[in-house]
Amino acid sequence: MKIIYYSLTGNVRRFIQRAELSNTMALTEVNKTQEVQEPFILVTGTIGFGQIPDTVQDFLDINHPYLRAVAGSGNRNWGQNFAKASEEIANKYQVPLLMKFELHGNQDIANEFREKVVTLDEDDKQTEAKSYRIK
């Protein structure tokens, strides 16, 4: 499954690199209106006091039908607003919140994320196969 990530400070980019996933796309101001016609997992940081970054929201306005799950990076110093954007996205689009991690995570967290991505991808493929059998 495609992993689309937004990294304002570089922490999310480092986390994605650490997870060693191949099908990734960095979300930027330049490509935020690009249509993605395949299922994806979004990984994002949080800005301000728990807000979804504008670039991420612009992208989701167009591509949310393909969103399958979200994960978020944050700083625990923000207390209840820690990685809050990922919670907001999960609630707004009714998708699973895979995890929240601090800053760029560590190798164990990156490995856990990779495992969750593989599991979600396998579940998505099984659901797709079952829907073809019903017809």
Per-position DSSP letters for 3-72, written without gaps between them: EEE--SSSHHHHHHHHHT-SSEEE--TTTTT----S-EEEEE--BTTTBPPHHHHHHHHHHGGGEEEEEE
Please tell me the predicted confidence (pLDDT) of residue 135.
Answer: 44
Please tell me the predicted confidence (pLDDT) of residue 70.
Answer: 96
Please tell me the predicted confidence (pLDDT) of residue 51.
Answer: 86
Please tell me the predicted confidence (pLDDT) of residue 125.
Answer: 62
The CA dihedral of 54, 16, 36, 31, to the nearest 10 degrees, is 50
For 99-129, what is each residue's pLDDT tens digit?
887 777 777 878 788 888 888 777 666 555 4
> Which residues are CB-neighbours of 19 under 8 A, at least 6 positions away?
3, 110, 111, 113, 114, 117
Q: For residue 106, what are the domain limits?
A: 2-134
CA distance 64 to 68: 9
| For range 16-21, the mean pLDDT | 89
pTM of the complete model: 0.83
| 72 has a pLDDT exceeding 60 | yes
| For range 2-15, the mean pLDDT | 90
Residue 71, strand partner residues = 43, 99
Please tell me the predicted confidence (pLDDT) of residue 8.
Answer: 86
Residue type at 90? A
Average pLDDT over the chain reads 85
Task: Give me the number of domains the chain comprises.
Answer: 1
For 42-69, what is each residue's pLDDT tens digit?
999 888 777 899 999 999 999 999 999 9
User: If DSSP codes are grouped into helix, strand and coil, which group holds residue 73?
Assistant: strand
Please tell me the predicted confidence (pLDDT) of residue 132.
Answer: 42
CA distance 65 to 83: 22
Whichever domain contains 102, its CATH number is 3.40.50.360
